[in-house]
Amino acid sequence: MTRVSLCQIPVVHEPKTNLETARDALAHAAGQGAELAVFPEATLTRFGRGVTETAEPLDGPFVSGLAEAAREHGIAVIAGVFEPSADGRVYNTTVALDAGGGLAAAYRKIHLFDSFGARESDVVAPGDVPVVVELAGLRIGLITCYDVRFPELARALVDRGADAFAVIAAWGSGPMKEEHWITLVKARAIENTTWTIAVGQAPTPSARDGFGVGRSMLVDPMGVVRHDLGPGHAVQTGEIDPAVTVSVRSTLPSLDHRRLHRS
């Protein structure tokens, strides 16, 4: 069993405020016996053109502060930040910190949200490498927001040995958007018979950009939602049981039944 805290926090533009919010959430996660805490995409700062000025290298004060808190509580951490890119844009990066505060992996978001009238690529440079990281006894495939709409990424992560997904998001509000989030997260769990930890930003009442609908979920390999945090600021801890994966894959061996079709 691995105890995982879904840290559904609101995010503002000021990194120092967000770091304190994250520290507080980690303290709550520690009180719930968590071994891993997962935070949203863009935990460093809210989306917007200002991210190019606010972005920090991965050894900057925000990630260093998260690492210190991870080490203090003995909890591994996954969180979204922005780091500068060489072309003047930023990378939308997921950092994975081990329980000692060490940087275990960094994943740069591959699929950029140039949809629903938004153009993430104006300020964000794409990554190109899927990442699986070992934390708290799990091999976790990292997925960021819009990535969840691309099933080939999740399948590539399973093929690299992932036994759980961490999907972090600052999901935008709008017609059908929350329904898409719920459906896509469950679909990635079902089609890969894989535990899925999906954590989004809580709504921030003072923000008008529409990012953050909450609805963080822990979904089991059969697609059953074990926890749903609703729309508010919350920290909730659940258990990932690898025996469930074994049982589901024995009953539903869809990964073994794949046949690759070539045109």
Catalytic residue among 35, 56, 83, 109: 109
Q: Residue 107 and residue 109: Cα distance in Å, rounded?
A: 6
Catalytic residue among 7, 35, 83, 145: 145
Is 7 considered catalytic here? no
Helical ranges in 203-260 per DSSP H: 242-251
Looking up tokens 């290298």, which residue turns up? 57
Catalytic residue among 35, 41, 83, 120: 41
Q: Any idea how long the chain is?
A: 263
Helical ranges in the chain per DSSP H: 15-31, 51-54, 61-73, 151-159, 177-192, 242-251
| 65 neighbors 58 (Cβ within 8 angstroms) | no
Q: Residue 11 and residue 28: Cα distance in Å, rounded?
A: 17
Beta bridge partner(s), residue 80: 94
Report which DSSP code applies to 146: G
Is 145 considered catalytic here? yes
Residues with a catalytic annotation lie at: 41, 109, 145
